[in-house]
């Protein structure tokens, strides 16, 4: 009952949120008029290109800057010898969400692809050739590559500042009482975000004021970071980031070349632009590292999980600490009397990993779902029945109750649509013609974090409004979903709402990441609208000339641009009339979004994903023939956009299971597939039939709007579902992702 | 990208003997220039040469070197007489690339060996005598036939595999006159120090000629194993044609892709099929012969098994007959005739 104190009374949303609505920026995008950072071409602009290291470990002994400078059009070559000073050393971790970066601080090479010089020229072509002409000579050392490339160590934290291990319950006792146990080792490959839009920046100084166009998922934080490195005030910096052509985590954190471009623009007193080539995005802008995960499930005589042990060995860089927190994905999915999750890492000569769509959860869920499927088969149980037997009614890692968890309904809806009940237990028993057919499933789960966001809402004299927050639209539809929430906060129709966003001089919307952006920025926007309506209500109910006079602020309701008396709906007044009589041009409200206090409940989105694969028995080629997911994600702000997000996540799951894999040559540390011809992601033809359903879920605890996240959830569950379907089709249990055809023959 | 001169040849006479790299669709050459693998000082644009016709040629076809891949794949006579050629084309690259890429350019495209594509890695194919970096490296996509210690790269074309299977001849014009080379031997195999050029300086491919396929016109398939359903190079692939009379094979064609520095035509396998009934055991024996001498060039022994099996698959599908309509997923192993 103590929980009741934490119940946030559900706010009433009006006629905007909850409706399917196409993207407000859709027409701009399909007509090519949506401005992206690299589209900006200020007059007098110079082009920058980074020269990148061709070795993975050692030092740069010589750069032929003379040859580069002699090339027609080359204006300046920056190397560690002449790089303009920074106020803060690039190796400093300036805050918890900052990486040590490469900004030409010295001649050390820490990974292949690291920027070792910046060439600035009149044209992109001249800068590119100038970079090539630098023709570096190195003193190289043998690189340490891959999971076995170095001695593992024990990290102090995993992910962003999280503890590396957790133990709940009595592992020894639970194991001692178990009837059997299963051991599973699963490896996942290194993956690179590969957003369609490359990382880009255009920087221009106006005296001591700096303007930056760059796609960024957290421009408030980026502004602070730039200011720290440059030794100027954040107020001197304006960042524009209206649209991102995908970010997936790789555009949440600054990288060194952005600083170099800003320095070059100041040094040369000209605007400077840099857009990374595809191959240059393999290294300096983060990645999901390879993992080797060891799971042990101890089962009691009824098939209940008595003990769950999940250890992750993850690849890390030599100069910073981002450890893929894959084991943590096992914390809250299945009931167990005891659990232990641990991590170790191996320092290799690679760029520092970073958060990539469902960081930790994606590889962790993949391994866990494979292990769960193995346990179900060992017990002779249907995989869904086994999951229901081990259904977690409380979070086994903390003992907390879930804020809401409609996972049973998800399983039921998706299994029903999929036709799961007809599944034979034994593998390699279903055929479609000569092809092997298999069915597998996985549980999707993703936490519901909230960050910090602020917003303004301004109601104008004509009854229209503008809301302002720096929110990033990465293609996920934030501009639309957030506008829907804002319109309801203001009690107006969305077509009367102007949504101003994507600039750092607006109230900070926090990070578009962690699947918490809509909840966090949405709460701020709703509160800003509510604050505005509160002021309106005060004006009207205290004005004897108003039909609302005397109703009190609790006695009116806002909708459709009017305030209505609750006790007499026939008495109402339009916003513009209230403002006019008060002699006001506008009313302005402010709002914040954040989770208040310590969470007293476990807060997660959930889902059940079911996959059908066909496998050619001779050639091992895999086709995901059907993919059905049902998800419980709290209140849905925009069903159409939420579905797109969930489908996108599931398609990432297909890529994780079957395609995505960055390959290093272990001898040189260089990539052998750092382009989109070699680094495969799914194509349309790989996704014949896919469906994402949502089940109704009211969550009075997660936040006042009842919103959970949808961005990353679909990746989890899907990878395991596909791997388990491949096993069911072939009888070969995949223990390595991506699953290669060769491994199935 | 280095500075270079751009010129255009509007007549074959201007192109033959021209100094510089020939530029057609540019779908491969420009990529190589951008990454510094190709550094020509001069480009000769040959896209306006009058070589964009597909002509009837005694029951076969004569295809101009500048015919775009997309036009070739959709040409009624190609679909009617050489459906495996169309299927191979449509299984390669993307629609946008096929719109730009030409027949001659497809033949002349470079290997996608990642070490060839990395200017920092020594490569005999790029610079003879410098060594082969692929050996001992990441070799999943490398050769299992015809390789040497000098080079283990594969030719990436789908089109050339089908052309080689169906006896295509490459017509070449050069400063010293014209010559012809069978597609099956056009691409040189490596020696210990590198790979000789397929064309001499100043030579230009003018046409690809395909002879009358006879009874194989409606019994021809191309099958391609790949990790994703489109826009991926073959792990292994096979083109096959079969003609059968009275349940006996009277003509057979078989070529493998993704296995060697050239499309791997196996006349030995074809000869072994003649006079035999078109059944799987015979196809399996032919496939064994086609893979005779195969050896892994690294950690790619599985390709030998896969190549053998895809040869059987292609022969089986060819014997069953070419579908009336191009499959929705051309060359896909999931577009067989016996499931659905």
Q: Which of B48, B34, B84, B159 is nearest to B319 (CA)?
A: B84
Contact A678 B112 (CB under 8 A): yes
Is A180 within a domain?
Answer: no
Q: Is the pLDDT of residue A342 over 80?
A: yes
Buried b (16+ CB within 10 A) or exposed e, B137-151: bbbebbbbbbbbebb
| pLDDT at residue A105, rounded to an integer | 97
Domain boundary among A593, A623, A643: A593
Q: Percent of chain A at pLDDT above 70?
A: 98
The verdict on A272 and A380 lying in the same domain is no
Contact A354, A244 (CB under 8 A): no
Identify all chain B residues contacting A663, using CB atoms and an 8 Å cutoff. 138
Q: Taking residues B83-95, report their average pLDDT.
A: 97
Alpha helices in B109-158 (DSSP H): none
Q: Which one of A549, A564, A593 terminates a domain? A: A593
Residue A288 has pLDDT above 90, yes or no: yes
Output DSSP code: residue A71: S
* Percent of chain B at pLDDT exceeding 70: 99
pLDDT (mean) for A594-600 = 88
**Residue B1 confidence class, pLDDT cut points 50, 70, 90:** confident
Residue range B174-184: average pLDDT? 98
Give contacts of A 87-116 with B, CB under 8 A. Answer: none
Q: What is the pLDDT of residues B187-220, one digit of tens each?
A: 999 999 999 999 999 999 999 999 999 999 999 9
Q: What is the pLDDT of residues A445-471, one digit of tens each?
A: 999 999 999 999 999 999 999 999 998
For chain A, the domain total comes to: 3
- Pair A202, A319 in one domain: no
If you write DSSP's letter for every residue of B153-205 in order, what string do you get? -----SHHHHHHHTT-EEEEEETTEEEEEEHHHHSPPP-SS----SS-TT-EE
Write b or e for each residue in B90-125: b if 16 or more Cβ atoms lie within 10 A of its Cβ, otherwise e. Answer: bbbbeeeebebbbbbbbbbbbbbbbbbbbbbbebbb
Pairing of strands B54-57, B60-64: antiparallel
Within A74-173, strands assigned E span 74-78, 108-109, 115-121, 137-140, 166-168
- The pLDDT score that the predictor gives to residue A3 is 41
Q: What is the DSSP letter of B258?
A: S
Using 50, 70 and 90 to split pLDDT, how confident is the model at A14?
A: low
Contact B227 A670 (CB under 8 A): no
A81: number of Cβ within 10 Å: 11
Which member of A279, A433, A670 has the closest CB to residue B336?
A433
- Within a domain: A580: yes
Whether A174 maps to a domain, the answer reads: no
- A73 vs B contacts (CB less than 8 Å): none
Per-residue pLDDT reduced to its tens digit, A182-195: 999 999 999 999 99
Compute the half-sphere exposure of residue A724: CA atoms within 13 Å on the CB side of its CA: 32
Is residue A712 part of the annotated active site? The answer reads yes
Give Rg (Cα) of chain B: 19
**pLDDT attached to residue A367:** 98
Residue A268 sits in which domain range?
37-141+198-243+251-281
pLDDT (0 to 100) of residue B335: 79
What pLDDT does A498 receive?
97
CA–CA gap between residue A713 and residue A632 (Å, rounded): 10
Residue A15: pLDDT band (50, 70, 90) is confident
Q: How far is B45 from chain A (nearest CA, A)?
A: 20
CATH code for position A660: 3.30.365.10
Domain ranges of chain B: 219-320
pLDDT for A577-588, tens place per residue?
A: 999 999 999 999
SS3 assignment, position B316: helix
The answer on A271 and A316 residing in a single domain is no
A524 shares a domain with A672: no
Considering the domain architecture, whether residues A478 and A556 belong to the same structural domain is answered as yes
Q: How high is the mean pLDDT of chain A? A: 95
- With respect to residue A173, please indicate whether it lies within any of the assigned structural domains: no
Tokens, residue A435: 């092809």
Q: Is A515 found in the same domain as A373?
A: no
H-helix or E-strand containing B29? helix B29-34
Per-residue confidence (pLDDT) for residue A11, from 0 to 100: 58
pLDDT of residue A315 exceeding 80: yes
Asked if residue A8 has pLDDT above 60, the reply is no
Using the predicted structure, report yes or no on whether residue A96 has a pLDDT greater than 90: no
> What's the rounded mean pLDDT across residues A88-109?
93
ipTM summary value = 0.96
**A261 and A136: one domain?**
yes
CATH number at residue A123: 3.90.1170.50
In a domain, residue A188? The reply is no
Residues of chain A in contact with residue B306, where contact means CB-CB under 8 angstroms, are 619-620, 741-742, 745
A605, A726, A714, A716: which is closest to A363 by C-alpha? A716
**With respect to CATH, is domain B219-320 assigned 1.10.645.10?**
no
pLDDT beyond 60 at B30: yes
Confidence of residue A596 (pLDDT cuts 50, 70, 90): confident
Residue A691 lies in a domain: yes
Buried b (16+ CB within 10 A) or exposed e, B231-251: bbbbbbbbbbbbbbeeeebeb
Each residue's pLDDT tens digit, A478-495? 999 999 999 999 999 999
CA distance A623 to B310: 17
Q: What tens digit of pLDDT does each residue of A692-719 get? A: 999 999 999 999 999 999 999 999 999 9
> Which member of A125, A129, A712, A742 is catalytic?
A712
Judge whether A178 lies within some domain.
no
pLDDT digits (tens, 9 = 90+) for A146-162: 999 999 999 999 999 99
Please report whether residue A105 resides in a domain. yes
Show which of residues 420-459 on chain A sit within 8 Å of chain B, judged by CB atoms.
Answer: 432-435
Query: Which of A593, A612, A641 is the last residue before a domain boundary?
Result: A593
Give pLDDT, residue A733. Answer: 98
Q: What is the mean pLDDT of residues A23-48?
A: 93
- The length of chain B, given as a count of residues: 340
Work out the percent of chain B whose per-residue pLDDT is above 90. Answer: 97
- A745 contact residues in B (CB cutoff 8 A): 302, 305-306, 309
Mutate to test the interface with B, among A677, A680, A689 (most CBs of B within 10 A): A677
Rounded Cα–Cα distance for residues A205 and A209 (Å): 6
Within this chain, do residues A494 and A585 fall inside the same structural domain, yes or no? yes
Estimate to the nearest angstrom the gap between the alpha carbon of B210 and the chain centroid.
Answer: 14
Residue B221 has pLDDT above 50, yes or no: yes
Confidence band of B58 (pLDDT split at 50, 70, 90) = very high
Strand segments (E) across B101-158: none
Range of weakest confidence among A3-17, A149-163, A285-299, B230-244: A3-17
Q: Could you tell me which chain B residue has the CA closest to the CA of A614?
A: B334
């Amino acid at each position: 009952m103590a929980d009741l104190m934490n119940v946030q009374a559900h706010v009433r949303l009006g006629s905007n949120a909850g409706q399917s609505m196409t993207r407000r920026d859709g027409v701009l995008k399909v007509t090519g008029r949506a401005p992206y950072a690299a589209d900006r071409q200020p007059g007098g602009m110079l082009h920058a290109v980074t020269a990148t290291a061709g070795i993975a470990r050692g030092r740069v002994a010589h750069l032929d800057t003379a040859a580069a400078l002699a090339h027609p059009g080359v204006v300046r070559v920056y190397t560690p010898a002449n790089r303009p000073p920074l106020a803060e050393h690039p190796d400093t971790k300036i805050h918890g969400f900052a990486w040590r970066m490469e900004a030409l601080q010295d001649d050390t090479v820490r990974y292949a692809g690291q920027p070792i010089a910046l060439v600035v020229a009149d044209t992109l072509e001249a800068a590119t050739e100038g970079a090539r002409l630098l023709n570096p000579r190195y003193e190289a050392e043998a690189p340490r590559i891959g999971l076995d490339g170095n001695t593992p160590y024990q990290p102090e934290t995993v992910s962003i500042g999280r503890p590396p291990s957790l133990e709940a319950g009595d592992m020894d006792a639970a194991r001692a009482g178990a009837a059997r146990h299963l051991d599973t080792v699963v490896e996942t490959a290194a993956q690179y975000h590969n957003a369609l839009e490359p990382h880009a920046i255009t920087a221009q100084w106006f005296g001591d004021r700096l303007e930056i166009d760059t796609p960024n998922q957290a421009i408030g934080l980026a502004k602070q970071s730039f200011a720290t490195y440059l030794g100027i005030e954040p107020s001197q910096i304006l960042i524009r980031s209206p649209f991102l052509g995908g970010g997936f985590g790789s555009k949440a954190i600054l990288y060194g070349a952005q600083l170099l471009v800003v320095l070059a623009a100041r040094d040369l007193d000209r605007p400077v632009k840099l857009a990374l080539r595809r191959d240059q995005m393999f290294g300096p802008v983060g990645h999901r590292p390879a993992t080797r995960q060891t799971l042990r499930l101890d089962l009691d005589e009824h098939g209940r999980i008595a003990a769950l042990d999940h250890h992750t060995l993850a690849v890390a860089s030599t100069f910073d600490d981002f450890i893929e927190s894959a084991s943590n994905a096992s914390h809250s999915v299945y009931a167990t009397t005891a659990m232990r999750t641990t991590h170790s890492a191996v320092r290799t000569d690679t760029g520092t990993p970073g958060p990539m769509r469902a960081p930790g959860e994606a590889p962790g869920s993949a391994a866990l779902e494979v292990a769960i499927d193995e346990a179900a088969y060992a017990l002779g149980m249907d995989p869904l029945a086994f999951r229901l037997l081990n259904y977690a009614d409380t979070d086994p890692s903390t003992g907390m109750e879930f804020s809401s968890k409609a996972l049973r309904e998800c399983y039921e809806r998706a299994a029903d649509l999929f036709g799961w009940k007809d599944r034979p237990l034994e593998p390699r028993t279903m055929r479609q013609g000569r092809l092997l057919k298999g069915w597998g499933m996985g549980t999707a789960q993703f936490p519901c974090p909230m960050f910090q966001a602020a917003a303004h809402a301004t109601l104008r004299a004509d009854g229209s409004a503008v809301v302002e927050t720096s929110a990033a639209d990465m293609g996920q539809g934030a501009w639309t979903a957030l506008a829907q929430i804002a319109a309801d906060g203001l009690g107006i129709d969305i077509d009367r709402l102007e949504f101003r966003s994507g600039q750092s001089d607006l109230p900070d919307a926090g990070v578009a990441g962690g699947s918490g952006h809509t909840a966090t920025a949405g709460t701020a926007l709703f509160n800003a609208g509510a604050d505005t309506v509160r002021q309106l209500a005060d004006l009207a109910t205290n004005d004897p000339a108003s039909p609302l006079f005397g109703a009190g602020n609790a006695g009116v309701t806002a909708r459709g641009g009017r305030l209505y008396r609750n006790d007499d709906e026939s008495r109402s007044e339009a916003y513009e009339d209230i403002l006019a009589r008060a002699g006001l041009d506008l009313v302005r409200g402010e709002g914040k979004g954040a989770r208040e206090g310590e969470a007293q409940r476990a807060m997660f989105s959930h889902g059940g994903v079911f996959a059908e694969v066909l496998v050619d028995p001779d050639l091992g080629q895999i086709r995901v023939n059907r993919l059905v997911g049902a998800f419980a994600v709290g209140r849905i702000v925009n069903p159409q956009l939420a579905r797109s997000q969930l489908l996108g996540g599931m398609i990432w799951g297909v890529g994780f299971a079957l395609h995505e894999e960055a390959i290093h040559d272990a001898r040189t540390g260089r990539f052998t597939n750092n382009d989109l011809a070699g680094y495969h992601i799914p194509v349309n033809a790989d996704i014949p039939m896919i469906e994402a359903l949502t089940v109704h879920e009211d969550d009075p605890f997660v936040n006042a709007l009842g919103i959970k996240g949808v961005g990353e959830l679909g990746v989890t569950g899907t990878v395991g579902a596909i791997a388990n379907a491949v096993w069911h089709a072939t009888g070969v249990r995949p223990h390595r992702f991506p699953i290669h055809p060769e491994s199935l023959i | 990208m280095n500075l270079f001169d751009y010129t255009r040849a509007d007549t074959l006479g201007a192109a033959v003997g021209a100094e510089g790299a020939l530029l057609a669709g540019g779908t491969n050459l420009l990529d190589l220039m951008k990454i510094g693998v190709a550094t020509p000082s001069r480009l000769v644009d040959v896209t306006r040469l009058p070589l964009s016709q597909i002509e009837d040629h005694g029951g076969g076809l004569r295809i101009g070197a500048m015919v775009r891949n997309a036009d070739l794949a959709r040409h009624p006579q190609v679909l009617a007489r050489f459906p495996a050629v169309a299927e191979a084309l449509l299984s390669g690259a993307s629609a946008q690339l096929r719109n730009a890429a030409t027949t001659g350019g497809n033949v002349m495209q470079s290997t996608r060996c990642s070490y060839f594509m990395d200017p920092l890695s020594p490569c005999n194919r790029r610079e003879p005598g410098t060594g082969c970096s692929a050996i001992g490296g990441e070799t999943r996509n490398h050769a299992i036939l015809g390789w040497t210690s000098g080079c283990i790269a594969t030719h990436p074309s789908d089109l050339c595999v089908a052309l080689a299977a169906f006896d295509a001849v490459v017509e070449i014009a050069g400063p010293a006159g014209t010559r012809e080379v069978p597609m099956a031997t056009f691409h040189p195999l490596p020696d210990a120090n590198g790979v000789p050029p397929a064309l001499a300086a100043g030579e230009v491919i003018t046409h690809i000629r395909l002879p009358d396929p006879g009874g194989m016109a409606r019994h021809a398939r191309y099958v391609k194993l790949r990790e994703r359903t489109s826009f991926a190079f073959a792990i292994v692939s096979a083109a096959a044609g079969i003609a059968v009379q009275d349940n006996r094979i009277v003509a057979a064609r078989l070529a493998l892709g993704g296995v060697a520095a050239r499309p791997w035509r196996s006349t030995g396998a074809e000869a072994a099929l003649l006079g035999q009934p078109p059944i799987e055991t015979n196809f399996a024996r032919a496939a064994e012969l086609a893979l005779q001498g195969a050896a892994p060039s690294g950690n790619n022994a599985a390709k030998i098994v896969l190549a053998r099996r895809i040869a059987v698959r292609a022969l089986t599908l060819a014997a069953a007959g070419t579908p009336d309509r191009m499959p929705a997923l051309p060359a896909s192993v999931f577009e067989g005739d016996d499931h659905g």
